[in-house]
Structure 1
């Protein structure tokens, strides 16, 4: 019988936890529940104590990913379930994720539909991430940024050193599982509106999410990003050469620089591919 640990990163989520923790205990009475308090200034610790669950507290905020790593290290279960502490995820769906693991998958992810997205902007961004990740991996990615997932503990801990301290741990862990040929499945879920105020800032995190797009590529297969970019530089150089040759009858510095950029980008891609292979070698 596999022991289950449920890990909830939380920063000032006392209001949501007040309702969520009793529902979690009712849905999974035998599970170990760990709330990782990421420097909260509200009554998160008191709520956890009243509910009788473990609370790991940080003296200051280290980030969502850091909370996930701390919880994964502290958990005693063979199976880990990660879910947000803001009340969006339904504890009843945990059983469906665990059922998928029982079928042989190493990671089961709760995939939100369009109606569960937090606004049109977030929905469009997540759709873009899912499309890009699908193209990069060759696997259907239904919800790349979902924080609601069940995993086998020993497999997840292999990648703790890769996980960032910030918000993109779902992206990193999903791509790492795909890259290491650990089977991943998506389970459709409905997510409720969060309780309280989101910690995501549109301007700051818009730039951060843009960087996630490049991270998706470099985590999985860098050449799939660098080769098309190199080809684009090469073709731009050819087009510039054709235009200047027809108009001036000579090769200009602009064409030479574009061709040089194509070579440099391609070589960077080769080096990045080797680095990526080394990152995963111990798990292949």
Structure 2
């Protein structure tokens, strides 16, 4: 089974190299999708990877993930993909557990972050807000729907095909999984937070609420 890790990024030169080094210790099947960065992210990625895809302009995380998936399934003949963020928030040491679930035949795997004393308060509150609102609207509770660390096999991807171009793609994927009754599992993951991590703003929360409501009524 070929599993490809997809890492979307936008101006993450500060953390990208460390992220790639960690992932490459686990697997060589990695795609980096640069979403119109103006820093040195692309040149850093090309030092480490064979598969570097570039958006000339910033299209959003959802678009970057879709670009990576299409390339992985069409050109690399992948059977499944894992999404990781490029800011070194996700630990590559958790990858084998995603691989294990996919090899068992699990269509979708959600990474659920452990929230502790090191978690920024606004990050914690924002994540809980999104998960509780989704639970209210869709009658299904997924503990960490904004998490970017997740995986899916090819058949699940074909069913999901999200429309979101931006960061709200994380929530849309969870919603589509529930709406289409796709089987999934959750695994607990470690997360690394940086000093400048402020979490979800009030504007972010309103945007997420709007999206969840729109998807619920079919818009």
TM-score range, shorter chain: 0.7 to 0.9
Give yes or no for contact 1:108–1:150 (8 Å, CA) kept in 2.
Answer: yes
User: CA separation in 2, counterparts of 1:210 and 1:47?
Assistant: 36
Q: Which residue of 1 aligns with 2:60?
A: 63
Structure 2 length as normaliser, TM-score?
Answer: 0.88
1:95 and 2:106 correspond: no
- Cα offset, 1:55, TM superposition: 1.3
User: CA separation in 2, counterparts of 1:55 and 1:112?
Assistant: 28
Q: 2:109 is paired with a residue of what secondary structure?
A: strand
User: CA separation in 2, counterparts of 1:70 and 1:210?
Assistant: 26
Q: 1:68 is paired with a residue of what secondary structure?
A: helix
More helix by share: 1
Give yes or no for contact 2:81–2:152 (8 Å, CA) kept in 1.
Answer: yes
Q: Which residue of 2 aligns with 1:16?
A: 15
Stretches of structure 1 that go unaligned for 5 or more consecutive residues are 223-271, 276-284
User: CA separation in 2, counterparts of 1:116 and 1:93?
Assistant: 21
Q: Which residue of 2 aligns with 1:126?
A: 127
User: CA separation in 2, counterparts of 1:200 and 1:60?
Assistant: 25
Deviations 1:110-138 (A, max 9, x none): 10122288521231121122123234444
Give yes or no for contact 2:63–2:164 (8 Å, CA) kept in 1.
Answer: yes
More strand by share: 2
Q: 2:25 is paired with a residue of what secondary structure?
A: helix
Q: How many residue pairs get matched?
A: 215
Higher relative CO (Cα under 8 Å, sequence separation at least 6) belongs to 2
Larger radius of gyration: 1
Structure 1 length as normaliser, TM-score?
Answer: 0.69
Cα distance 1:22–1:56, how it changes in 2: closer, same or farther (>3 A)? same
Give yes or no for contact 1:147–1:170 (8 Å, CA) kept in 2.
Answer: yes
User: CA separation in 2, counterparts of 1:20 and 1:144?
Assistant: 22
Cα-Cα RMSD: 2.4
Stretches of structure 2 that go unaligned for 5 or more consecutive residues are none
Cα distance 1:188–1:194, how it changes in 2: closer, same or farther (>3 A)? same
